[in-house]
Structure 1
Amino acid sequence: MVIMFGCSREQKEDYADSANNEKVMEVELSADTSSSLADKIIKTADMRFRVKDVQDIKQKLSSVIKSQGGTVAEFSINSYIHETTKVRFSIDSLKEITSYKKEGLLVAKIPSEKLDQFTNDVAKMAVFVDNQAMKMDDQSIAYLSNKLKAQNRSEAINTINQTAKRKGNNVETSLYIKDDFVDKKIENMNIDQRVKYSTITLNFYQDNTVKTLIVGNDNLSDYKPGFFKRLGLNMMDGWKYFKELILALSHLWMFVVMGFVLFFGIRYYLRSRKI
């Protein structure tokens, strides 16, 4: 009877604590909803515009971002060749003519309160603005949800610690709740950071540019001597080959002599028979 009475008493206490916690949570939720629902507006912006010089604008943008307390998160500059050709400039050099387009990408984080002014400053640098857009994402409800869930997990951890001696310490459940508590805190920290600093993506480009460059002539046939020079060299080569032929035939002098002997021998034989 004592054990049953003790268990019944613990259950009543747990039910009472649970009911009290629900009432307290309802009061806190109402209070948080009315007073703690602060604006958590995440701003993002995109711009695409034409400029006179991509490299120069990139440097100016970096200076403006730094002066307004922002940071450059990413940037890149790429050149896309439209057409290229080579024309003869001299015997050993060519003029390379290239038509290309240069584009730049810059992603920056700007204090949210200065985002409008920053976009106006960027528009003044542009020759022509292709498009400009801004998006505002209200994360107030998500922020409040994470905050309340974090409070619930904090209370759950305290409850587990208090009842550990009576009902056994559930380590796995405690770790899961603690990890989830940390996740909610991190999510809200991320929201705070994105609310404080807006992300803007800038795509800028310049008109097609023509670049000339003197390069070495890689066509080896252009390095051949002139006609008369080559004619004289060929005649000298012909005389050399003729001498080489005579030298080669000199190795066969015995066959020449034998040929003459055979020729005159047959001739003498044929004449003697006619007589």
Structure 2
Amino acid sequence: MKNILLIGLFMSFLFINCSPSAQEKSKKESASKDSLAYDANAKAESSQMGDSIAHDVSLSTATPKEKKFIKTADLKFKVKNVLQATEKIEDVTTKYGGYLTYSNLENKNENIRTTELTKDSLLISKQIDVVNEIKLRVPNEKLDSFVRELNPLVVFLDYRVIKLDDVTHQFLSTQKKNARFQKYENRQLNNIDKKSSKLNETTNAEDNLFDRQNQADDQQIKALELADNVKYCNLNIQIYQKPVIVREVIANFDFITEKKQGFFSRAGESLMQGWTILEELILFLLKTWSFLLISLVTIFGIIFIVRFFNKRRVE
């Protein structure tokens, strides 16, 4: 009976020492409440900051029907995957009746570092920035819908620049010039037919008509170009993603081409490698100290209980 009482007191002592006190509990509860309050405030601040940052590339370029505009858009934003985003942009371009004029998908190597692992091997670490510059054209009236479909791709918006040039008067001026050139050409043709009997006058009139026709052709080409710019808007899109870190081990050819090392050099290198292994082992043991402590307590506890019962049996 006395032995059972001693065991009960021993277990109670361990429980009391291992269990947290009321003051510690109070401190933990207070710290937990403070942590929850801090997390709530941090989330609220993060949400407010997120709301203040532009993530949406949507736009509205509605214009009066009687006006003629040349629309251009410049976009730059971060995506999760440049290759997949490029394919999506190309698909959306085709969907809205547009076409691609330029695409430059590129892997840029940045921050290249070389570290010597051993005498005969090197570790190459480099940061790869995947970027793409895309130029395309879509119908003027489809610009808003096209840009709106890019929203799911945007992780972070760097900028969105929209420009509308009013060319209503220029468009009207071009049409009138074309009409005047056409009338002048018709009159000259009639005059040449009437003066067919006079060779010199006919030749001069035809030369003059030829010059005017060249001017009319240039003016007509300008009119077509202006009409095309009004019908299709130009978009310049730059996309990028989170940098990718690439590491690879390569042979150290400078060392390989050298002659074989001596005994003492190789012995020193072996000692360094062994010391590195010992360091890693010590660090591993330090990380698992709690597990080792519990194991030791358990083992000593079992030994104590076994000895106790063995002693009791002997008695």
* Displacement after TM superposition at 1:95 (Å): 2.4
Cα contact 1:40–1:192 (8 A) shared by 2: no
Of 243, 268, 271, which residue of structure 2 is paired with 1:208? 243
SS in 1 for 2:238: strand
- Give 1:66-145 correspondences, 5 Å limit: 66-89=94-117, 92-145=120-173
Q: Gapped runs of 5+ residues in structure 2? A: 1-64, 267-315
Cα deviation digits, residues 176-224 of structure 1 (max 9, x gap): 2111212222222112222221110001122332111232322235764
Q: TM-score, normalised by structure 1?
A: 0.63
The root-mean-square deviation of aligned C-alpha atoms, in Å, is: 2.6
Is residue 186 from structure 1 mapped to residue 221 from structure 2 by the alignment? yes
Cα distance in structure 1, aligned partners of 2:218 and 2:190: 23
Provide the secondary structure at the position in 1 that maps to 2:214: helix
Higher mean C-alpha deviation, range 72-81 or range 218-227: 218-227
Aligned residue among 169, 174, 177 for 2:209: 174
Question: Partners of 1:117 and 1:202 in 2: how far apart?
Answer: 16
What's the CA shift for 1:38? 4.9
Aligned letter for 2:169? I
| Structure 1 contact 91–223 (Cα < 8 Å) conserved | no
Q: Is the 8 A contact 1:107 1:202 kept in 2?
A: yes
Equivalent residue, structure 1, for 2:187: 159
Distance 2:82 2:74 in 1: 17
Overall identity of the aligned pairs, in %: 23
Q: Is the 8 A contact 2:80 2:153 kept in 1?
A: no
* Aligned positions of 1:51-66 closer than 5 A: 51-66=79-94
Letter aligned with residue 242 of structure 2 = D
- Matched residue SS, 1:148: helix
- Distance, in Å, in 2 between the alignment partners of 1:194 and 1:72 is 15
Amino acid at match of 1:120: R
Gaps of 5+ in 1: 1-36, 232-275
User: Structure 1: how far apart are the matches of 2:245 and 2:85?
Assistant: 19
Aligned residue in 1 for 2:67: 39
Q: Distance in 2 between matches of 1:220 and 1:91?
A: 6
Distance 1:161 1:118 in 2: 49
Cα distance change, pair 223–53 in 1 and its aligned pair in 2 (3 A): farther
Distance 1:113 1:192 in 2: 14
**How many residue pairs get matched?**
195
Q: Larger % of strand: which?
A: 1
Give the AA of the match of 2:146. F
Q: Which amino acid aligns with 1:204?
A: I
Q: What amino acid does structure 1 have at the position aligned with 2:113?
A: T
Residue 146 of structure 1 corresponds to: 174
Asked which structure has the greater CA Rg, the reply is 1
Q: TM-score, normalised by structure 2?
A: 0.56
* CA deviation vs aligned residue, 1:76-124 (integer Å, no higher than 9, x gap): 1233333112234566543211023232100011121111121122232
The answer as to whether partners of 2:107 and 2:128 remain within 8 angstroms in 1 is: yes
**1:220 maps onto 2:248 in alignment:** no
* 2:78 equivalent among 19, 34, 50: 50
